[in-house]
Amino acid sequence: MAEMTYLSAISDGLREEMRHDESVFCMGEDIGAFGGAFKVTDGFIEEFGADRVWDTPLAENAIIGTAVGAAVEGLRPVCEMQFADFISCGFDQLVNVAAKMHYRQGLAVPMVVRLPSGGGFSGGPYHSQNPEAWFLQAPGLKVVAPSTADDAKGLLASAIRDPNPVVYLEHKHLYRRVKGEVPEGRYEVPLGRVRVAREGTDLTVISYGAMVGIALEATQDIDGASVEVIDLRSLVPLDTEGILRSVRKTSKVVVLHEATRSCGVGAEVCALIAQEAFEDLDGPVVRVTAPDVPIPFSPPLERAVLPQVDDVKEACRELLAY
């Protein structure tokens, strides 16, 4: 297996699917000659041509709407938002058209919207958001958020081959920081299954995306405790059995994510545990998240807002001592 960055794995996965299936094509702002804001599609227009790598106007609503029409006609579009924040301009086409098309008309809409999300680089409030919770309440959408390079490639393949619209969250802070062995050729990582990033028996940390690495670093040596780390990978569908299996094993849970707290993924996971595994708990379920504020430009303020290793350590220590 070759070692790839998270970004290279996404690019490789997209290229493999386009080589195999001529119905797969990409569209987005500056993805052609420029290769995309982060270079995920660098070289694509030379290999696949302008018919399959579409440079679009600055019009996210038109990008998503065009993709819906193409998907209904049998193609498999992969849309790139330059930054996840910009999906708000295409929100209506995604949640009111793409997500409901099968329910209303029985039509498959096999399309993917790639969202470069997250902070950690002082991008400020318009380039660093984690908007996944917006889509959890839109029945008809699937939502994935890989944390490793091999998952980034395998989950993208699953998303492209899925008959439903899939929101694919790729964390910008991981693009060139995370590396790993990635299988060559085409393969899928199934949607809706957690990954046990580390086995443990005393406490479980449940997370996804960039925070999985923070969870592993924070708990690798924490007062001799054995801490299990669960990577959700797929937020919709959510692997409820995988979550509950770990909760029943350790009886103490910290839920960690970078997005703001209220009505987020963590709230949904906490509600699931309270309803299905209350009697298995030996302490309260604890959330470590960003507060309900915009992401600041200022590096010190951004660090104060985003969950850090020490925040996770403190939460784990308090819960272990409960």
Residues tagged active-site:
127
Burial status of residue 110 (CB atoms within 10 A of its CB: 0-12, 13-18, 19 or more): buried
Distance between alpha carbon 119 and the CA centroid of its chain, in Å?
13
Burial status of residue 275 (CB atoms within 10 A of its CB: 0-12, 13-18, 19 or more): exposed
How many CB atoms are located within 10 Å of the residue 301 CB? Answer: 13
Strand positions, DSSP E, 13-140: 24-28, 53-55, 76-80, 112-117
The runs of H, that is alpha helices, within the chain are 6-20, 44-48, 60-72, 91, 101-105, 132-136, 149-161, 211-219, 240-250, 265-276, 299-305, 309-320
How far is CA 23 from each of CA 75, 76, 99, 111, rounded to the nearest angstrom? 5, 5, 20, 11
How far is CA 55 from each of CA 46, 60, 75, 178, 288, rounded to the nearest angstrom? 13, 12, 17, 28, 39
Measured over the CA atoms of residue 194, residue 196, residue 202 and residue 206, the dihedral's sign is negative
Taking a C-beta distance cutoff of 8 angstroms, is the pair 208, 32 a contact?
A: no
Distance between alpha carbon 98 and the CA centroid of its chain, in Å?
19
Q: What φ, ψ does residue 288 adopt, rounded to 5°?
A: -120, 115
Return d(Cα 205, Cα 198) in angstroms, integer.
10
Taking a C-beta distance cutoff of 8 angstroms, is the pair 293, 260 a contact?
A: yes
